[in-house]
């Protein structure tokens, strides 16, 4: 997280985030001709909250600075007091000094022995929930997986198993029509295997069709995927069709439920919490409020021995130098840049570009270039050293602050984080994202108070009061840290209460569909 040197006017109209910035941020809708502190002239035009205002004359081609960092270049001369956005600010050429591992500053450990009530698994991992998963190897078995879950609910199968939180069908749109030996196959394999052994599942029923590329036998591989033995598997073709598979599936679920029901919450160290950090529907407030508050909470968890995962590689683009400098070693920094280079090639060969962000909603919220969006997104990672860099869905085997490669598409990125072992998700949003990610609970943070009030049924915490009420980032981060512990111990999030999680399993599909 950057060392911000914020300066807010006494009326709360604008804020300048760093002394070196040549823009300030509107904190409310401002009209043309209005005067604000820090400007010797009236506003040239109206500026919506979250958007940028030039605090000096910026020449065409000159760098525009926010957070003390370059967010793009002026496409034309920009007058003092003028609105700075897509009409006069572009990406421009940029080159970063990675300075690997030069800002690696270990955080002081927190020795206070905090704990949460979690489910200790046979492999030593700890879950925050105790679901049963019906995992599918291919899209062709997705409907049958849902039929089994619906039949189990209709029969009241879980009534006798009060310690089981529910049955979650994990269905998706791939698993066949793909190569069986390329990068896409390996990515899907890691994702499915990660869900099969996730600590938030007390047991797994794995269902395939039988003839798909992603074979159930390959996933099982003649080895125990789960140390507790709570995994059963079958294929629809071998069982004799839909009805027989449903009948057999219900029988297997009862056996799995008996095993899962034996699990009970017990006191576990918070070092067993792994948080996947996400942002979606971002706005001009994201890098000021919710993201740095999450960054502070991330540091608290890391200092307590826990793990936090930053992802969305395409949305740290242009800010990766802030992470490479915090890498524990030069090799870790270079691993991150390898992924950046892979993404540049990946987008180029698919006729895309890295500056395909921000989205229309992001732009309405005040973000202009991917550089600006990325600088705000990286704030979620706090200040801890970067311990390691992982592939999508690769099991996280180190504590601390880590990075997992993923697209910026939120459901896909979260899917990878859960497969990697995240037992909590924290999601910041300025426009109002709605989603949930069974079996992992998702905590939603609002970046601004207006959206929080409008969508209070979906948001778990308002971070907009950092601006509206002067709450400190540190206080908000501490508040979030306490919420993490409560949710890990069983407190339901808004997305859980609303029943989200049925369609948000989105594996990253890489390669040709054949």
DSSP 8-state symbol, 62: P
Tokens, residue 424? 């909590």
Q: What is the mean pLDDT of the chain?
A: 94
Is there a contact between 22 and 59 (Cβ–Cβ < 8 Å)? Answer: no
pLDDT at 1 (0 to 100): 40
- CA atoms of 81 and 204, how far apart (whole Å): 59
Report how far residue 317's alpha carbon sits from residue 441's, in angstroms, rounded to the nearest whole number: 28
Question: How is the chain split into domains, by residue range?
Answer: 1-94, 120-265, 267-498
Distance (Å, rounded) from C-alpha 326 to C-alpha 333?
8
Name the pTM for this structure. Answer: 0.95
Fold of the domain spanning 120-265: Rossmann fold (3.40.50)
pLDDT for 9: 58
Distance CA 487, CA 8 (A): 34
Q: Percentage of the chain with pLDDT > 70?
A: 97
Helix, strand or coil, per DSSP, at residue 150: helix
Worst-scoring range by mean pLDDT, 126-135, 224-233, 311-320, 458-467?
224-233
Q: How far apart are CA 378 and CA 30, in angstroms?
A: 28
pLDDT band at 469 (very low <50, low <70, confident <90, very high): very high
* pLDDT of res. 358: 82
Sign of CA dihedral 16, 21, 25, 31: positive
Least confident of 265-269, 280-284, 454-458: 280-284
For 288, 435, 470, the CA distances from 462, given in Å and listed in that order, are 13, 17, 13
Grade residue 10 by pLDDT with cuts at 50, 70 and 90.
low
CB atoms within 10 A of CB 330: 15
Cα 274 to chain center, whole Å? 12
Pairing of strands 69-74, 83-84: unpaired
Taking a C-beta distance cutoff of 8 angstroms, is the pair 267, 115 a contact?
yes
> For residues 203 and 438, what is the distance between their CA atoms, to the nearest angstrom?
14
Parallel, antiparallel, or unpaired: how do β-strands 14-16 and 7-8 relate?
A: antiparallel
- Domain 1-94 fold is 2.30.130
User: What is the Cα–Cα distance from 105 to 495, expressed in whole angstroms?
Assistant: 36
Please name the residues in contact with 288: beta carbons below 8 A apart, sequence gap of 6 or more: 6, 15, 17, 25, 376, 447, 466, 467
Cα separation of 472 and 458, whole Å? 23
pLDDT at 354: 80
Predicted confidence (pLDDT) at residue 3 exceeds the cutoff of 60: no
Does residue 93 surpass a pLDDT of 80?
no
pLDDT of residue 4: 47
């Amino acid at each position: 997280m950057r060392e911000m040197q914020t300066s807010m006017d006494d009326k709360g109209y604008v804020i300048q985030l760093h002394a070196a910035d040549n823009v300030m941020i509107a904190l409310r809708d401002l009209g043309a001709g209005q005067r604000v502190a820090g400007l010797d002239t009236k506003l040239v035009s109206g500026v919506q909250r979250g958007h940028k205002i030039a605090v000096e004359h910026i020449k065409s081609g000159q760098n525009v600075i926010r957070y003390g960092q370059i967010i793009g270049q002026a496409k034309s001369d920009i007058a003092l007091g003028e609105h700075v956005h897509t009409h006069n600010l572009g990406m421009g050429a940029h080159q970063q000094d990675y300075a690997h591992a030069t800002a690696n500053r270990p955080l002081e450990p927190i020795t206070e022995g905090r704990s949460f009530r979690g489910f200790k698994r046979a492999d030593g991992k700890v879950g925050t929930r105790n679901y049963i998963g019906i995992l599918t190897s291919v899209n062709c078995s997705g409907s049958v997986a849902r039929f089994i879950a619906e039949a189990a609910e209709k029969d009241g199968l879980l009534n006798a198993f009060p310690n089981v939180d529910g049955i979650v069908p994990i269905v998706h749109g791939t698993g066949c029509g793909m190569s069986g030996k390329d990068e896409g196959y390996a990515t899907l394999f890691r994702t499915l295997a990660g869900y099969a052994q996730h600590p938030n599942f007390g047991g797994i029923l794995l269902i395939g069709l039988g003839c798909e590329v992603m074979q159930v036998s390959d996933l099982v591989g003649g080895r125990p995927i789960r140390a507790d033995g709570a995994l059963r598997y079958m294929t629809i073709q071998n069982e004799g069709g839909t009805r027989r598979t449903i009948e057999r599936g219900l029988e297997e679920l009862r056996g799995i439920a008996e095993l899962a029901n034996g699990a009970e919450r017990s006191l576990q160290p918070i070092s067993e919490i792994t948080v996947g950090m996400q942002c979606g529907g971002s706005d001009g407030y994201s890098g000021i409020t919710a993201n740095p508050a999450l960054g502070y909470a991330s540091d608290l968890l890391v200092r307590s021995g826990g793990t936090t995962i930053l992802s969305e590689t395409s949305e740290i683009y242009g800010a990766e130098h802030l992470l490479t400098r915090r890498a524990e070693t030069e090799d870790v920094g270079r691993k991150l840049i390898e992924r950046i280079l892979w993404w540049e090639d990946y987008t180029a060969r698919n006729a895309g570009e890295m500056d395909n962000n921000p989205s229309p909603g992001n732009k309405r919220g005040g973000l202009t270039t991917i550089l600006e969006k990325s600088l705000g997104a990286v704030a979620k990672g706090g200040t801890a050293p970067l311990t390691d860099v992982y592939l999508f869905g690769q099991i996280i085997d180190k504590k601390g602050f880590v990075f997992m490669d993923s697209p910026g598409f939120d459901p896909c990125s979260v899917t990878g984080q859960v497969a990697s072992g995240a037992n909590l998700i924290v999601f910041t949003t300025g426009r109002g994202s709605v989603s949930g990610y069974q079996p992992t609970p998702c905590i939603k943070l609002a970046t601004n108070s207006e959206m929080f009030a409008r969508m209070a049924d979906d948001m778990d915490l308002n971070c907009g009061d950092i601006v509206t009420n002067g709450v400190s980032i540190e206080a908000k981060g501490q508040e979030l840290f306490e919420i993490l512990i409560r949710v890990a111990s069983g407190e339901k999030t808004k997305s859980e209460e609303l029943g989200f999680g049925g369609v948000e399993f989105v594996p990253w599909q890489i390669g040709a569909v054949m």
